[in-house]
Chain A
Amino acid sequence: MEKELIIDKLTTIFRDVFSDNTIILKEEITANDIGSWNSLSHMLMIAEVENNFSIKFKLKEISKLKDVGTLIDLVDSKLS
């Protein structure tokens, strides 16, 4: 899948899970940058990403997610 498409799908998921239609994803965005991004919503976001892309994350992979950029890369690598 093209990276652009991954970012598009992730944007839709982020806007839905974090209830914010203004979210524009950039690689450097972290949980600090989105008000409603907390442990609970992170768990929901991970579940939505797994469902939407038909992938499954290991805890080791989730623990390496530092920002949106690492999430995009992880999804990309799981799909390749």
Chain B
Amino acid sequence: MKNSNQFQTHVISPLLTTISQFHERKAFCINEVFYTYKQLGELISNIRFAIRELNEDYIYFGLIANDDLETYASILALWLEGKAYVPLHPNQPLDRWKEIIKQTGIKTILSSGDNYESLNCKIVKTYNLAYKADLLEYDFSIDDGTDCYVLFTSGSTGTPKGVRINRTNISAFMDSFWNCGINITEEDKCLQCFDLTFDVSVQSFLAPLIKGACVYTIPHDQIKYSYVAGLLEDEHITFGAIAPSMLRYLKPYFDEIHCPGLKCCILTGEASPLDLVKQWEKCVPNAEIFDFYGPTETTIYCTYYKLNKGREIKTLNGMLSIGVPMKNVEAIVVDEEYNILSTGEKGELCISGDQVSAGYWNNPEKNAASFFEKEYNGKIQRFYHTGDLCYFDNDKHLMLYGRLDSQTKIQGYRVELGEIEFHAREFLKGANAIVVTFDNSIGNTELVLFAEGETVNTISLMDYLKTKLPFYMIPSKIIQEQQFPLNSNSKVDKIKLKKRISEI
């Protein structure tokens, strides 16, 4: 089949045009240092030469997800070489890295920092590479079905699962994104405050680079909400995507925040509460505010809701509507038998179109469970089960109730409670462990782990979990219970456990 070359059209060509056209313009601001498009282009070229010297056929490369120009240049270099990146965040425990490396069979890791000798992979240093020449062409015989990245998300059985996103997916996403009415130019200053292990980071760096704007990132050793506040005030950021949980940290200071220069603010990662958004609107009086929704499996975002000033804002249970499907997305709401439901009827949101992932890494069981085919609009389409309970309103806007399962969001990150419980039970040698969520005093979701047993070393258990799980999955409290309360179905009574949190 002929390669559709959509990646060339929607990503590579605009990006390479920007690099050549905006040579002297600022591409990145990283830790208060500015880098030009010329510097970015040279670094991409250097890294491409380094990759070529390896003569490595394998498409997948590990990438230490540092906050520096080398790391962003590495992503673009890998894409230009027809490769894909698998990000490894330096704040994640080594065991998690080893699990990801084992699953993906990565042989080579690009690193702008340490050597990581214990990983048994070839480490390619991406810093201090001598400039040879510009190497910025793209081989458009590279199939659009080739992966761009594999992101590992929380797995309910204890093992993280890799979501594969390819060039067709990213092209379709960028086309859809601009079609939402988002307008970025080379004059814009755009916030990138998501870890590279979180797919919103791709929108946050790629969209501005395609348009010649400047990307402002967050150093790893800084507290995010605090650093973002500084950027908004001092650098006059004009565009940014943030999670509502960040707004909750800033909320006590809303009366000190005044950003008339912010033109567009995307809220994403979690459900957006109306009251919080209405207060934030006063801080950013000239901003268009969008609520974007999307699982990693449907490439960053798949539906969006634009708040129109002066018009009624659609909400359900105080949370903003997740709006309408993006251009290259079809959305249906189905019952347990896959019947498409009518307006107003609650069911599972399922997504099809070119933004839907080809599947999880090497996981046929999960793929069979998460994707299905159904005839829709006159053709057989492949749909993804989002696991989110929704309905369409009379204006064909989606209203989100919540999850069908035990997944939650912490600061925008997907967390399967089962993954935390799995590791806790391993430590407790099979004793029961249950994670419950609760909303803290500022309204952000926290995790509390209950461990069942006569004696539980909660400190050692916490230390153990830190060697297995990323920071956002570490419970804020561990509570030991001799015996878990049971409900009338003889299942652990999570409601009673939640009540214990307020008692303590």
Contact = CB atoms under 8 A, between A and B. Distances in A.
A79 interface: no
A24 interface: no
Interface in A5-36: 30-33, 35
B466 A62 contact: no
Interface in B444-464: 444, 446
Nearest to A67: B221
Interface in B462-476: 466, 471, 476
B222 A30 contact: yes
Given A40-B446, A63-B230, A32 B471 contact: no
B222 A40 contact: no
Nearest to B246: A39
Interface residues of A, number: 20
A39 B223 contact: yes
B221 A31 contact: yes
B220 A60 contact: no
Given A39-B249, A40-B446, A43-B442, A59 B257 contact: yes
A39 B476 CA distance: 12
Contacts of B225: 39
Contact of A32 (B221, B250, B411, B476): B221
Task: Tell me what chain A mostly uses at the interface: helix, strand, loop, or mixed.
Answer: helix
B227 interface: yes
A65 B233 contact: no
A60 B444 CA distance: 23
A45 B253 CA distance: 16
Contacts of A43: 249, 442
B53 interface: no
Nearest to B255: A59
Interface string B214-258: 000000111111110110010000000000001001100100110
Contacts of B227: 63
A18 to B, nearest CB: 12
B476 A42 contact: no
Contact of A38 (B233, B253, B471): B471
A62 B471 contact: no
Contacts of A59: 229, 233, 250, 253, 256-257
A35 B229 contact: no
B223 A31 contact: yes
Contacts of B442: 43
Contacts of B466: 35
A32 B471 CA distance: 12
B230 A64 contact: yes
Contacts of B223: 31, 37-39, 42, 65
A59 B227 CA distance: 10
Interface in B73-105: 91
Given A31-B223, A35-B466, A60-B233, A40 B471 contact: no
21 contacts: A30-B221, A31-B221, A32-B221, A33-B221, A35-B466, A39-B223, A39-B224, A39-B411, A40-B440, A40-B446, A59-B233, A59-B250, A59-B253, A59-B257, A60-B230, A60-B233, A63-B226, A63-B227, A65-B223, A65-B226, A66-B222
Task: Give the 9 A-B residue pairs with the shortest CB-CB distance, closest first.
Answer: A63-B230, A59-B253, A32-B221, A30-B221, A63-B229, A42-B223, A59-B256, A63-B226, A62-B226
Given A30-B222, A43-B249, A65-B226, 18 more contacts: A33-B221, A35-B466, A37-B223, A38-B223, A38-B471, A39-B223, A39-B411, A40-B444, A58-B256, A59-B229, A59-B253, A59-B256, A60-B256, A63-B226, A63-B229, A64-B230, A65-B223, A66-B222
